[in-house]
Amino acid sequence: MHRNLRSLSLGSSTFRRDTSPPLVGMALVTVCLVAGCASGRTPVDSPSAESSPALQTAPDSARIDLEMPTFSDPTTITNPLFPISDLTQVVQVGTEGDVALRHEITLLPEIKTIEWESQQTDTLVSQFVAYGDGRVLEVARDFFAQADDGSVWYFGEDVENYVDGVLDNTDGTWLAGKDGPPGMIMPADPKVGDVYRPENIPGLVFEEVTVTSVTEAVDGPQGPISEAMLVEELLADGVLEDKIFAPGYGEFMAQVLSEDELVNVSIGVPIDAVSGPVPAEVYQLTTASADAYIAAGAADWAAVTALVDSLSTAWTSYRETGVPPLTADGMDVALEALTAAAGTQDAVATQQATNDLAYVVTDLRLRHESPAAVDMERMEILARQIMVDAAAEEKGFLTGDAIHLEALWARTSHTVDGSTASRIEGQLADLRGAAESGDFPTTADIAQALRQSLTGL
């Protein structure tokens, strides 16, 4: 699942290249993450596993996914360790070497029906978007269903992998029924020693999971979480990955020691939502960052300095209310970067820093607003970002911005009425075309028109 990235579920706190130091405060270092627990496995020697001479897999006697499941109510997913019916959006952050990672996982308002073994199964659709140093790496749609016994099954994914804003490949794409069988991704009642394969299509995809603990304690966005599950995942290329699944969050942490990768949940809703209206401090963070973007473009440094001061005051006040730790870390980093950029009176760097900070602020808003409303704000920030990248004539960044916008629109379009939705869809199509052709002035003009269309939504 998303193995082309080697980054299981999480990403960066900032919005652009080389602006984020390694995350601090990861509280999972005490978890026993073993990278060499392949003892007891047997070599791949059957057509049911990925062919690799060095790959060692568990014997079939250890597997719990060999019986065909039945699906009477497949889109009601109640498994606490994979609660995708309830989790409307999850933000995950981390690093791979010196690259900052950010992933956004969002439940889409649609059902995909998949035919397998002469039966049709409705599946939930989840969108996965990954960023490296703030730029799009992957956009995927994943398909999940819960069996009658409470286990959750993976029915495939549509994957697009990007390099410098250009579609590089669709590696990792597969569909149950068309390419092979679905795979169990979460047992109904996992026990130590259980083995199952979320992906198991020869020559295409392969993952084998072994449960190593079901009594882990982890530090979550709101405090300690007990009865989390630790697993070791064997990939088709022999890489071992450790994951933690936490009640209420699903996939919570992932680590690949061999590749210096660690990713973790930063915030998930509705589990981390806060009741009541959006606090004044959060609105101030949104409006002041947008105003600072405009002031920097006009080289009004007195206004920029005043706005940065107001941002610092608002953040200090809101931080005291209790913010998820990794989100707070991201805000601290973004505010420090904005303060430094403003101090140099570099308009481009300051505008970039305001966008970086504004995007982190959307994670604060996610505690108080619907994901669709937050994603609409992210689209407005992306429109500003396009204007920065167009001015810098960064064609790769521009096309990546267009892809990012389209991914956000896929999550929000259902909330917009017909005529406005048609206008925005047209602007997005025109923007993609202008970006891909390197027409920087036209791309900037379309981005400005898109900002006007988004006003008030």
What's the mean pLDDT in 320-324?
95
Per-residue buried b or exposed e for 129-150, using 16+ beta carbons within 10 Å of the residue's own CB: bbbbbbbbbbbbbbbbbbbeee
- Is 146 within 8 Å of 426 (Cβ atoms)? no
Mean pLDDT of the chain: 89
Task: Say if pTM beats, i.e. exceeds, 0.85.
Answer: yes
Tens of pLDDT, residue by residue over 156-190, are 999 999 999 999 999 999 999 999 999 999 999 99
Consecutive H or E run containing 322: none
pLDDT at 54: 62
Per-residue pLDDT for 47 more than 90? no
Say whether pLDDT at 3 is over 60: no
Model pLDDT, residue 457: 81
Per-residue pLDDT at 33 exceeds 50: no
What would the two tokens of residue 397 be? 């960044």
Element (H, E) at 99: strand 99-116
Distance CA 444, CA 442 (A): 5
pLDDT at 45 over 60: no
Record the tokens describing residue 207, joined without a space. 């993952």
Per-residue pLDDT, 55:
83
Whether pLDDT at 9 is above 90: no
130 bridge partner residues: 103, 138
Average pLDDT for residues 262-288, to the nearest whole number? 95
Average pLDDT, integer, range 120-126: 98
pLDDT digits (tens, 9 = 90+) for 203-236: 899 999 999 999 999 999 999 999 999 999 999 9
30 alpha carbon, distance to own chain's centre: 25
